[in-house]
Amino acid sequence: MTTSPELQSRVISLLRFPLMVLVVLIHSRLNGVDGGQAFQSTQFLLSDVLASVAVPFFFVISGYLFFYGKPFTWARYGDKLKRRARTLLVPYVLWILLFALLFFVVQNVLTSFSGGTNKHIAEYTAADWLRAFGIGAMPLDAPLWFLRDLMVTVVLSPIIYYGVRLLRWGWIALLAAVYFWGKFDYSNYGLSMVALFYFSCGATLSLSGRLLTNIPKKIFVPAAFLFLAMLIILGIDCLEDPWKLIAKKVAWLSEIIVMLWAVTRWAGKCPSLRPNKLLLGSTFFLYGFHAVPQQYIISLYQKGVSAMTTPHCFLLYFGNFIGVIMLSTACYWLCKRLLPRFASLLTGAR
């Protein structure tokens, strides 16, 4: 089907909130809980395979949009860094400070809600604060590792630009080899192959003048079969690491193509289709907010149940997932009404 920049913009908007819902599903995973084979298989396929495409997909979109439009120049690079400081760095710092304040209150006032495993915020040293902000460790608000890695990748974008210009798809082949090799790991400092590879994929499409939504049938059909094959292979659990991780990476790549093709066709057939404004606006808030309520809901539920049976696991897994999305959306709506400027800062003026 024919596509256009307007359709592409609409498709990206339609994808933003559902992809963030998938991020919440990733973090709904119940670690250290048995729950039986049926629960473990369901959780693995949903959280570890299907939902985990969200992070690579967001990197692809980010890379595409970063180089979209005017030609790349050093002056434009400087302007983009300034804008990304407002849309990425400011909310990154605010969410971590907000979580630090929340943990401080829990540790000193609401002590019954404290798990007792985290170091007290009041005792943080300079090194602890560096780790809290994601330097050498996961950020205090753990899902913000994506934002940290995206900021590092944006700073390195001139390398990606010249890599694509000089090597074209050879640049992607080089990064793909390192990505699937899986031995390059400086992710605690924001230098991750998942960010570099998928951001570069989006950048290459953008710099070559192609629309993200222009997926020909000759690419979609093999991707759909490959995605289905990976789902079957991972579902029957016949692989050992590192082959299981490679199969998941192949599944994510093919799933991105399938999702783009499906949403583009859907949006193309329904010209009036637009994302809900409240849900679209709450996307970034959901991203920054969801980790803590998820953590405490899981902890409180497990404390109140003597034995985590299979029904209990399914109830907690799906109930926590749905409940956190509803709570986050409600908190965003309330924050936007009562503190609109603060809500704007938390969401990067989105």
pLDDT in tens, 93-137: 999 999 999 888 888 876 655 555 578 898 999 999 999 999 999
Task: Name the more confident of 31 and 39.
Answer: 39
Residue percentage of the chain with pLDDT more than 90 = 76
Q: Cβ distance 8 to 65 under 8 Å?
A: no
Confidence of residue 187 (pLDDT cuts 50, 70, 90): confident
Q: How far apart are the first and last CA of the chain?
A: 31
Among candidate residues 51, 28, 21, the one with its CA nearest the CA of residue 276: 21
Is residue 258's pLDDT more than 80?
A: yes
**Tell me, what DSSP letter sits at residue 69?**
S
pLDDT at position 113 is: 57
CA diameter of the chain? 61
**Tell me, what DSSP letter sits at residue 186?**
B
Is residue 277's pLDDT more than 80?
A: yes
Q: Cβ distance 207 to 68 under 8 Å?
A: no
Q: Cβ distance 212 to 226 under 8 Å?
A: no
User: What integer is the mean pLDDT of 248-269?
Assistant: 95
Quick one: how far is CA 282 from the chain centroid?
Answer: 15
Distances (CA, A) of 103 to 120, 153, 284: 8, 30, 21
For residue 242, cis peptide bond before it (omega within 30 degrees of 0): yes
Kindly report which listed range (14-18, 105-109, 321-325) carries the lowest average pLDDT score. Answer: 105-109
pLDDT at position 1 is: 59
Average pLDDT over the chain reads 92
Structure tokens at 305: 């149940």
d(CA 189, CA 149): 8
Q: Cβ distance 26 to 49 under 8 Å?
A: no
Predicted TM-score of the model (pTM): 0.94
**Tell me, what DSSP letter sits at residue 191?**
B
Main-chain dihedrals φ then ψ at residue 291, nearest 5 degrees = -65, -45
User: What integer is the mean pLDDT of 24-31?
Assistant: 93
What amino acid occupies position 330?
A: A
d(CA 159, CA 157): 5
User: What integer is the mean pLDDT of 64-78?
Assistant: 93
pLDDT at position 69 is: 87
What amino acid occupies position 302?
A: Q
Q: Domain locations in the chain? A: 5-346
Q: Crossing angle for the helix pair 291-304 and 90-108, nearest 10 degrees?
A: 30
pLDDT at position 305 is: 74
Kindly report which listed range (214-218, 219-223, 278-282, 300-304) carries the lowest average pLDDT score. Answer: 300-304
d(CA 321, CA 45): 15
pLDDT at position 115 is: 55
Q: What is the pLDDT of residues 267-276, one digit of tens each?
A: 999 999 999 9
User: What integer is the mean pLDDT of 43-65?
Assistant: 96
pLDDT at position 299 is: 78
Main-chain dihedrals φ then ψ at residue 191, nearest 5 degrees = -105, 90
Residues in Cβ contact with 57 at an 8 Å cutoff, skipping those fewer than 6 apart: 15, 19, 198, 256, 259
Q: What is the pLDDT of residues 161-185, one digit of tens each?
A: 999 999 989 999 999 999 998 888 7
d(CA 239, CA 160): 33
Q: What is the pLDDT of residues 221-232, one digit of tens each?
A: 999 999 999 999
